[in-house]
Structure 1
Amino acid sequence: MRTVLSRRLGVTIAATTATLAAAVGGAAITRPADAATASPPSPVVAVGNGVLQGLTVDGTAAFRGIPYAAAPTGNLRWRAPQPAANWRGVRDATTYAPGCPQAPGIAPPGALSEDCLYLNVSTAALHPAIKRPVIVWIHGGGLTADSGSNYDGTKLAKAGAVVVTINYRLGALGFLAHPALASYPGGATGNYGLMDQQAALRWVQRNIGRFGGDPHNVTIAGESAGGLSVLAHVTSRSSKGLFQKAIVESGAFALEQESQARAEASGQEFAAKVGCADQSADCLRKVPVQTLVDNLGNLIPGAVDGAVLKESIGTALAAGRFNHVPILNGSNHDEEALFTLGGHVVSRGYNLPYATPVTPQNYESNIATALRITPTQAKAIAADYPLSAYSLPDKAFGTLIGDATFACGAEQVDTWTNAHAYEFNDDTAPFLFAPAGAISVATHGSEMWYLFDLPNAPFPQPLNAQQSKLADTMRADWVTFAATGNPWPAYGRNHTTKSFQLPSPTISTDLAERHHCTTFAQNLDTVK
């Protein structure tokens, strides 16, 4: 089924001991602790570009703000990422680097900078002889927001993985398609953010062994637009060999990408809006960063550029033209509640293509608009979601759209790839964008509390004992998948799906039925 509703979801320090000076390629070393203090020794690792000094976090080693590519500024703006420069001495890797430029919202605290191509590593096994599975986390945020520093990988590292979280270029800086930016007439433009993700994966291949990780056992993982990015790499020929497994969390909501031609037309409109009437690359590269952020408008991210993406993700998956790696894929059972019940402040931030509030009078027209279908098709779908069965029209509409775009998109990917399917069903999960008790539902992003610490969450809420036990199970399953590729039986003919719910996970086989996927398959265009 085609899913059609897309979302707008170093400082160096001098070496002070002979031990530090002895760092040589490939060796992980540790500075001796000062005998007069009780503080643990600072972890130190030599990577390809130089020596890093990290910090100890809850029994693990953390290295933050590691450059994996050169600053994409000046003449490197809107070019493929270039190698990071080497450094002399020991680089302080105890603080996060700036996030990539973006509008206010879920950005990390502190500075934002166009110089943002950095990653972070968490490991509990800091030794090059140890080969733990690696999980590389690609954050969500609609390809326009968020940062790797919003996700603390400590608990996943303690569960047995080496965890890498990354930044990548966002919005116009990451995805502007424009003919003037092509390296030759008619060449590929756009998808620089996806190229950044590939560059980070190449850094992992070269360096992760020095953190106790196995470069031959890398799992790419992401949520929302991060999950969609994972699917992009699953279908990208240029990503082949950079990873061995893939985890997709709520990422199957936009399986049809726009053409390069349409993306470039949008890019030309954008260029005029930011003052480049001459449509030249030279002008675009001189536009202030804030102007680029403020005028995002209808820019199209992640189009079929002919290089990173040669065809739409759904088309490639349906035809079997993808990198055949084990996939863990799933969604949360009421995904759209974040946008339709989480307060219209959230909804407005995503420029949702329907009228709010939803009423009996605009219910079917909203369905047609949001799913880009005919009134007849909308009427048929609405019959499966009668308003009388829901407390509010917004609740009915949100359930319907969430099923169409997330649950049934995920089910389609499960079918195409025989993924290890899951659904997150803990309706007591903390809500990302509201205080405790405001909303209780397993919606978009709810599962992230169960995998990561979220140090910059708008409303931090600790998990209770039952939730913590479920979180331990989820992290163990994610690490098992990263290690073996087989955490539970694949979707298959039985439609096997693991439901993460309280008091304990169960196996179900009725995912498609509960989310009315047959109705959507009959009334939405199928991928060709």
Structure 2
Amino acid sequence: MGRIRQTRPPVVRTPAGALHATAAGPAGGDASVHAFLGVPFMAPPTGPLRFASPRPVEPWTGVRPAAALPPAFPQPGGPGPVGAPAPAEAFAEHAVRANVWTPDVHGSRPVLIYVHGGGWRAGSASSPTFDGARLAARADLVVVTFNYRLGPFGYGLHEQLADPETGLCANWGLQDQAALVEWVRSSIAAFGGDPENITLSGTSAGGAAVRQLALLPRLRGAVRRLVPISAAHLWAPAYALEPDDARTAFDLLADRLGVGVPGLRGVAVDTLLAAWEDCFRGAPDQRPVASGRWYRGPVQDGELVPGPDAHRPVPDLPTLTVTTDTEGSFYTAGALPQPVDDTELRGMVRAHLLQGRAGVPGEAADLAVRHYRARAREEGRADDAVSLYAEIVGDSMFRHQIVRLAERAATESRAPGYVLHFDHPVGPPSFGTPHEATAPFLFGTHGIPWHREIFGDGPVERHVSQTLMDLVSSFAHDGVPRSEAVPYWPAFTERNPRVLCLGGPAGPRITALPKAAQLEFWDTAGWHPAPDARGGPGR
């Protein structure tokens, strides 16, 4: 990809006003890029704009510096396991801002928008993990990251919070994401980006957002390509509150804080967030609502989110789908007793299944363990309790829906699709290739101090990172993922469901889907959203 040597940081003029860049510094070789950090793309969602649809940013006069990353949006604990500690001003509601990295403000380059994950309740685009300088320089892309509203500020539903201008009363974080895409369309040309060539990517909750945004009528035609990574495909009760439960949760929250539901706009951030978290402590069957059992993402509101991802159309856009080899080992690092015997394993699996759906049959955990142990032995993989638990969690929460939706797209979409199985191993305390292991390699930040011990920074890691960057960036440029290190990679089709495996010293290779037999358990487990009456995915 092209590289351009830069001079002093430039000034760009957006529809809202002028911005002064900061030098992003060397980003590999002799390349450098310009960074525009903490750029407002909507009005701060504070005061009367809390629980409101995004409003346009207030124009400014003069030249506004864009040299500091925004704080993280308010969230419990830190900004997520894959991120580093937040900036000095740790959390703030006004943190809904964007960061832009560009090799040159002149020209018209493809744009990659990245949506951070964190279970709709945590995470931050300001994490050093998502520093876009290396990717922008190597790939000759304009890279955009951003914060959006999280937790009760971003995801819920209540008619008493209906916006007087839009009528919307739910999913404010998703509305922020849509506002960011619209801002990029209107402003990115000033940064050297092509508003007609936007690729949308994201991981976990951000990977789910990629599909949800692509299906929004208001964004039709705004996005050209999709790169969902380890997508947490939405369904209730595991990943979201049912609409009635969302109303109940906001009623309970207001009652506990001694205000009406509209009065929640005036409650202190920390107070409101702490009260919300208290509503969801303990086992799911001990809570005042039955859904939102693991995470509380977008609510099915009939407009922005008509239904679970599995029951919605597949976007008719070129898609590069990414999943990791052991998504579930993200949840086991340092969190399980050692060793785990089979009795404990079945109890852990039973508890996990109850996180995803109430009323799980008593024998379900035993059936899952037996299926996964048999498949592991057939394929010569580890069958110890911790390894099996990680596989069960990762497949049930991520890989099963990711793969089945990719298969659906191969039959229903006219656009080409590709599937990448990322299997580069990480270091202790985790193992395998866990959920969220891709971002440090996509952004080239695997070698920063925060990540080096777990992800590594040797020749193999640098090669894996450069290859992943090249694949995603070439896809963003023209819709065909390629790299000098990768053999011919065919599209994933119903007749030829081949995937690219990337990671480790074996190098890139084209194979059948790894561990496909494991996923068969979930086809008949009755745990994910069921097919509709026609026997196929619902619409």
Category of TM-score, reference length = shorter chain: 0.7 to 0.9
Question: Is residue 301 from structure 1 mapped to residue 297 from structure 2 by the alignment?
Answer: yes
Matches within 5 A, 1:116-155: 116-127=95-106, 130-150=107-127, 151-155=130-134
Question: Which residue is 1:215 aligned to?
Answer: 195
SS of aligned partner of 2:35: strand
Aligned-residue offset at 1:142: 0.9
1:267 to 250, 260, 274: 250
2:512 to 509, 512, 515: 509
Matches within 5 A, 1:241-320: 241-256=221-236, 258-276=241-259, 279-281=260-262, 283-297=263-277, 298=280, 300-316=296-312
Aligned-residue offset at 1:197: 0.6
Q: Distance in 1 between matches of 2:465 and 2:216?
A: 32
Question: Is residue 77 from structure 1 mapped to residue 50 from structure 2 by the alignment?
Answer: yes
Question: Which residue is 1:446 aligned to?
Answer: 437
Residues 137 and 406 (structure 1 numbering): CA distance in 2 closer, same or farther, change over 3 Å?
same
Question: Which residue is 1:380 aligned to?
Answer: 367
Equivalent residue letter for 1:145: A
Aligned-residue offset at 1:378: 3.6
Question: Is residue 109 from structure 1 mapped to residue 80 from structure 2 by the alignment?
Answer: no
Question: Is residue 63 from structure 1 mapped to residue 48 from structure 2 by the alignment?
Answer: no
SS of aligned partner of 2:37: strand
Q: Distance in 1 between matches of 2:449 and 2:394?
A: 23
Equivalent residue letter for 2:458: N
Does the CA-based 8 Å contact 2:73-2:94 persist in structure 1? Answer: yes
TM-score of the aligned structures, taking structure 1 as reference length: 0.82
Question: Which residue is 2:218 aligned to?
Answer: 238
Q: Distance in 1 between matches of 2:49 and 2:267?
A: 13
Q: Distance in 2 between matches of 1:222 and 1:357?
A: 36
Residues 358 and 398 (structure 1 numbering): CA distance in 2 closer, same or farther, change over 3 Å?
farther
SS of aligned partner of 1:380: helix
Q: Distance in 1 between matches of 2:182 and 2:235?
A: 25
Q: Distance in 1 between matches of 2:451 and 2:343?
A: 27
Equivalent residue letter for 1:482: A
Question: Which residue is 1:19 aligned to?
Answer: none
Does the CA-based 8 Å contact 2:234-2:298 persist in structure 1? Answer: no
Aligned-residue offset at 1:310: 1.8
Q: Distance in 1 between matches of 2:160 and 2:336?
A: 38
Instruction: Report % sequence identity.
Output: 27
Deviation string 1:373-418 (CA, Å, 9 cap, x unpaired) is 3234443322212399656423211211212222212101111223
Q: Distance in 1 between matches of 2:368 and 2:457?
A: 37
Question: Is residue 334 from structure 1 mapped to residue 326 from structure 2 by the alignment?
Answer: yes
Aligned-residue offset at 1:466: 0.9
Q: Distance in 1 between matches of 2:342 and 2:33?
A: 47
Deviation string 1:131-170 (CA, Å, 9 cap, x unpaired) is 2111001100111111111110111101121100011111
Equivalent residue letter for 1:416: R
Does the CA-based 8 Å contact 2:158-2:169 persist in structure 1? Answer: yes
Q: Distance in 1 between matches of 2:114 and 2:445?
A: 13
Deviation string 1:112-140 (CA, Å, 9 cap, x unpaired) is 2111221010011320xx22111001100
Does the CA-based 8 Å contact 1:364-1:375 persist in structure 2? Answer: no
Q: How many residues align?
A: 464
Q: Distance in 2 between matches of 1:376 and 1:139?
A: 37
Unaligned segments of structure 2, at least 5 residues: 1-5, 27-31, 80-84, 281-291, 411-416, 482-488, 533-539
SS of aligned partner of 2:443: coil
Residues 171 and 368 (structure 1 numbering): CA distance in 2 closer, same or farther, change over 3 Å?
closer
Q: Distance in 2 between matches of 1:367 and 1:226?
A: 23
SS of aligned partner of 1:366: helix
SS of aligned partner of 1:273: helix
Q: Distance in 2 between matches of 1:484 and 1:71?
A: 35
Equivalent residue letter for 2:423: N
Question: Which residue is 2:18 aligned to?
Answer: 51
The RMSD of aligned alpha carbons is 2.7
TM-score of the aligned structures, taking structure 2 as reference length: 0.80
SS of aligned partner of 1:362: helix
Question: Is residue 475 from structure 1 mapped to residue 469 from structure 2 by the alignment?
Answer: yes
Residues 395 and 295 (structure 1 numbering): CA distance in 2 closer, same or farther, change over 3 Å?
farther
Higher relative contact order (CA 8 A, sep 6+): 1
Question: Which residue is 2:520 aligned to?
Answer: 518
1:413 to 390, 405, 425: 405
SS of aligned partner of 1:180: helix
Does the CA-based 8 Å contact 1:108-1:146 persist in structure 2? Answer: no
Does the CA-based 8 Å contact 2:20-2:64 persist in structure 1? Answer: yes
Q: Distance in 1 between matches of 2:267 and 2:143?
A: 36
Does the CA-based 8 Å contact 1:170-1:193 persist in structure 2? Answer: yes
Question: Is residue 362 from structure 1 mapped to residue 357 from structure 2 by the alignment?
Answer: no
Does the CA-based 8 Å contact 1:237-1:323 persist in structure 2? Answer: no
Aligned-residue offset at 1:262: 2.6
Q: Distance in 1 between matches of 2:502 and 2:181?
A: 29
Q: Distance in 2 between matches of 1:131 and 1:268?
A: 49
Q: Which moved more, 1:518-527 or 1:83-92?
A: 518-527
Q: Distance in 2 between matches of 1:218 and 1:477?
A: 16
